[in-house]
Structure 1
Amino acid sequence: MTATAQTLRPPSRTLMFMEGRAIHEFGAFLGALPLLSLAPRGDGHPVLVLPGLVASDASTRALRTFLTSNKGYAVSGWRQGRNYGLREGVQHAMVDLVEELSDTHGRKISLVGWSLGGLYARQLAKMMPERVRQVITLGSPFAGDPRSTNAWRVYEWASGRKSDEVDPRFGGDLAAPPPVPTTAIFSRTDGVCAWQGCMEKSGGQTESIEIESSHCGMGHHPAAVYAVADRLAQKEGQWRPFDRSGWRSLAYPDPHR
């Protein structure tokens, strides 16, 4: 664990209180649908969307419906009810689903994970890079100490595991980037996870995209949805970093400022 990860503090109570804006962000998503329809359209490859802690596929329905109906992807939820952490059988079920989607469509799949779901996505990509096209995380605290979030106690209660417990059989070092193109979407006003722990190191196939969002609304925030669609639309094997030029600079701050 790095010194930075050790010193990160959870978001303030003020930011935690502001998580209520997730409701308004959903309204903004509905209002922005005509504009979001202008986002790039991809090649229809399979996409697996993984929900956050104690959330279910219902929480990602808006994003999945948009990617299916507006962008033509073959999108699947994780099909395991509520996400209570790595309980018995969860890891194997996710591995089986990745294999099923990849085999059914005869193509690599993209993994999109919100919060804890993003941690799963990264680890699955490390275990199965031959089946994964790219990884996109939304507010996922992979680079910080587990206690740099306001949800670590909930995780321990829900999963029955220690928040800092690492299973070496599930992808290894959490902070290490997967060997596939990886995008980390984060917000400095995240009220659940310290934003510094949700950023990816910039590299040849890694990047971070900043938006101004709550944590609980990130999965349907218009800026996040557009960024996800933009990243998914890239041709396989031709990944390039997100382009913030022009009008996008107004919606997407420089993450390294």
Structure 2
Amino acid sequence: MDTVSGDGDDMVLTPPSKALWAAELPRAAWTVATWWRHRPALAAAPRGDGRTVMIVPGLFNTDRSTAVMRGYLNRIGYRTSGWGLGRNRGVRTVGVEAERLIARVESLAAAGPVTLIGVSLGGIMARLVAHRRPDLVRAVITVSSPYAGSPKATNVWRAFEWLTGERLDDPAVVLRSDAIAGPLPVPSTAIWSRSDGLVNGLICHDAAGHAVEVRSGHLGVQLKPEVLIAVAKTLAG
């Protein structure tokens, strides 16, 4: 897999290869078809402590895309919620500073800070909330979220611009992205894969937080049993 070009100070992270990109749909289908095999391992994961967890979906997805993860975490002992904001179209949905998402987190935090789990773009948004309102956030878990490098090291940056109406070279967007990538004021874990076909896995984690590498594509990553178990272990850690 080609993830970088150049060497030394000239090293530039690149998007995943066309082969990995083409393999995304077959890999997602395989995950669904073989999910049943992993039930014993899923059942053996650490039990939850009843805390409130919100899961933020990825680009152009809704809470339906995280139903399996939410159901699993509910079964092992967490109070899990979707984000309740409909389809994720970036700032068009949550506001430039994630105002609508922050309001949603605030409504869930009456009994204490909320743990945020974000898938892809949802993880970037979760990090923004944690930077803006750390008093509301207990911890952040990102899943295949390309927050730690150039968005152009992905195969979806044009789709992002089209769906959100934001241009990645807009100085305001660059400034916000740099702030999101900064060390969080709450504990963080980044779940990532070097075989991701849509985003370069190397921009999905950093040295400031804990990182867990998995073997997964991007589409349906939130359904992957290995990812669900990694999330359960992180929550129990």
Q: Judge same fold: TM > 0.5, yes or no.
A: yes
SS at match of 2:34: helix
- Alignment match, 2:215: 212
SS at match of 1:147: coil
Distance 1:148 1:115 in 2: 14
Letter in 1 for 2:130: A
Unaligned runs of 5+ in 1: 235-257
- Alignment match, 1:135: 140
The Cα of 1:89 is off from its aligned counterpart by: 4.6
CA pair 132-232 structure 1, distance change in 2 beyond 3 A? same
Distance 2:141 2:10 in 1: 21
CA pair 167-10 structure 1, distance change in 2 beyond 3 A? closer
CA pair 179-164 structure 1, distance change in 2 beyond 3 A? farther
CA pair 63-164 structure 1, distance change in 2 beyond 3 A? farther
- Alignment match, 1:92: 99
In the TM superposition, what whole-angstrom CA distance separates every residue of 1:218-255 from its partner, at most 9, and x where no partner exists?
11111110010111123xxxxxxxxxxxxxxxxxxxxx
SS at match of 1:110: strand
Q: 2:53 aligns with which of 38, 47, 57?
A: 47
* CA-based RMSD: 2.1
- Alignment match, 1:28: 34
The Cα of 1:177 is off from its aligned counterpart by: 2.2
- Alignment match, 1:72: 77
The Cα of 1:27 is off from its aligned counterpart by: 3.0
CA pair 110-23 structure 1, distance change in 2 beyond 3 A? same
Unaligned runs of 5+ in 2: 1-7
- Alignment match, 1:231: 234
In the TM superposition, what whole-angstrom CA distance separates every residue of 1:98-119 from its partner, at most 9, and x where no partner exists?
101101xx11110000000000
Between Structure 1 and Structure 2, how many residues are aligned?
226
- Alignment match, 1:240: none
Distance 1:98 1:5 in 2: 41
Is 1:124–1:170's contact at 8 Å kept on the other side of the alignment?
no
In the TM superposition, what whole-angstrom CA distance separates every residue of 1:111-145 from its partner, at most 9, and x where no partner exists?
00000000001111111111211110111111111
- Alignment match, 1:184: 190
SS at match of 1:154: helix
Identical columns (%): 39
Is 2:87–2:93's contact at 8 Å kept on the other side of the alignment?
no
Letter in 1 for 2:55: V
| Higher helix content, 1 or 2 | 2
TM-score calculated relative to the size of structure 1: 0.82
Letter in 1 for 2:48: G
CA pair 146-171 structure 1, distance change in 2 beyond 3 A? closer
Letter in 2 for 1:151: V
In the TM superposition, what whole-angstrom CA distance separates every residue of 1:74-108 from its partner, at most 9, and x where no partner exists?
111111111111116542220011101101xx111
The Cα of 1:32 is off from its aligned counterpart by: 1.2
In the TM superposition, what whole-angstrom CA distance separates every residue of 1:140-165 from its partner, at most 9, and x where no partner exists?
11111111111111111101111344
Distance 1:153 1:168 in 2: 16
- Alignment match, 1:37: 43
Distance 2:192 2:38 in 1: 20
Pairs within 5 Å for 1:190-205: 190-201=196-207, 203=208
Distance 2:9 2:117 in 1: 26
